[in-house]
Amino acid sequence: MPSQLDQLKQFTTVVADTGDFKQLAQFTPQDATTNPSLILKAVQKPDYAPLLADTVKAHKGEALDVIVDNVLVRFGLEILKVVPGRVSTEVDARLSFDTEATVARARRIMGLYEAAGIPRSRVLIKIASTWEGIQAARVLEQEGIRCNLTLLFAFCQAQACGDAKVQLISPFVGRIYDWYKKQAGAAWDEAANAGDNDPGVKSVARIYAYYKDHGIATEVMGASFRNVGQIIALAGCDLLTISPDLLAQLQASEAPVERQLTPPAQAGEPEAPLTEAAFRYALNEDAMATEKLAEGIRAFAVDAGKLDAMIQALKA
């Protein structure tokens, strides 16, 4: 019997969610995703310290943000030696509310990849799904720079990303689950909220159905998983990005995996685009999404600051 990982790959493109590129080969994922927290985690390991030091040394006289982008791209280049598909590299989360700065940073990151001989088709620029981030992605997509809109918790964020014709979105299953579990406290029933009833799973399934029913080409990549059950419940989603720990669990099990999400035979027409006012009001009405989006940006910003500090120390 094939492993759950091999079974899952029949329905869904499997993506590895890690900056630790030395772990990747054993799972043979198609793509890989990184974020500031994952890169920070990787550079603190002895295996990757020389890569950080070498990159900083090569760009010592340049501005801090330029060195940071070179570090991120260096990891991306190593990942692309292992995966046959795409790597996602994230724009600094501290720019999440600045459309112009996000566009400029994304262009620079893509320029670094292109200078290293990597075509645009193999890179996704990760941007937070704020209104400003989504509008930056709209501009970038028109230039042929493909984007991965992350920190996505609300349905309105998915709608706006579809309107902007972004390449891919990353709705966060686990963080949605975390919020509802925390809200419920002692009343939380794990069994009753598992599988199809998991609030994070339901959110991704709703977005997937909306995109497929309305002929929206944006890819849906479930992200931020807490357990294998959440992954299995989304078998059939366009892509799923999974941590090495959960990839190992899937690889070790031969329990059956069946397709859960299936596109319709025929898609309808897209709905009218969301206005900025409608987007902001809908996001404001969703307490979970408002909280988790802000929390996610703050956490990524903190880790970006820690990476800055490491680089500053090496520059000194």
Q: How far apart are CA 42 and CA 20, in angstroms?
A: 6
Query: pLDDT band for position 157 (50/70/90)?
Result: very high
Q: How far apart are CA 151 and CA 130, in angstroms?
A: 9
Q: How many CB atoms lie within 10 A of CB 113?
A: 20
More confident residue, 245 or 36: 245
Contacts of 80 (CB under 8 A, 6+ apart): 87, 118, 122
Burial class (CB in 10 A: 0-12, 13-18, 19+), 192: exposed
Average pLDDT over residues 30-50: 92
Average pLDDT over residues 94-119: 98
**Each residue of 43-55: pLDDT tens digit?**
999 999 899 999 9
Query: pLDDT band for position 266 (50/70/90)?
Result: confident
- Quote the crossing angle between the two packed helices 64-80 and 49-58, to the nearest 10°: 130
Whether 235 and 14 have beta carbons less than 8 Å apart is answered as: no
Report the 3 state secondary structure along the chain.
Answer: CCCHHHHHCCCCEEEEECCCHHHCHHHCCCEEECCHHHHHHHHCCCCCHHHHHHHHHHCCCCCHHHHHHHHHHHHHHHHHCCCCCCEEEECCHHHCCCHHHHHHHHHHHHHHHHHCCCCHHHEEEEEECCHHHHHHHHHHHHCCCCEEEEEECCHHHHHHHHHCCCCEEEEEHHHHHHHHHHHHHHHCCCCCCCHHHCHHHHHHHHHHHHHHHCCCCCEEEEECCCCHHHHHCCCCCCEEEECHHHHHHHHHCCCCCCCCCCCCCCCCCCCCCCCHHHHHHHHHHCHHHHHHHHHHHHHHHHHHHHHHHHHHHHHC
Contacts of 303 (CB under 8 A, 6+ apart): 36, 37, 40
Residue tagged active-site, from 81, 126, 181, 315: 126
Q: Mean of the per-residue pLDDT values for the chain?
A: 96
Question: pLDDT at position 17, please?
Answer: 96
For residue 204, give Cα distances in angstroms to 13, 62, 208, 211, 270.
15, 41, 6, 11, 18
Query: pLDDT band for position 259 (50/70/90)?
Result: very high
Residue 89 token pair: 């590299």
Question: pLDDT at position 265, please?
Answer: 87
Average pLDDT over residues 23-29: 93
Average pLDDT over residues 92-120: 98
- pTM (whole model) above 0.75: yes
Query: pLDDT band for position 270 (50/70/90)?
Result: confident
Question: pLDDT at position 316, please?
Answer: 77
4-315 has CATH 3.40.50.300 classification = no
> What residues form DSSP beta bridges with 88?
33, 124
Query: pLDDT band for position 268 (50/70/90)?
Result: confident
**Each residue of 203-243: pLDDT tens digit?**
999 999 999 999 999 999 999 999 999 999 999 999 999 99
Average pLDDT over residues 112-119: 98
126 is catalytic: yes
Residue 82 token pair: 């292992």
In one letter, which amino acid is 4?
Answer: Q
**Each residue of 64-91: pLDDT tens digit?**
999 999 999 999 999 999 999 999 999 9
Whether 241 and 33 have beta carbons less than 8 Å apart is answered as: yes
Chain center to CA of 44: 21
Query: pLDDT band for position 267 (50/70/90)?
Result: confident
Q: How far apart are CA 40 and CA 310, in angstroms?
A: 9
Angle, vertex CA 266, rays to CA 263 and CA 268, nearest 5 = 100
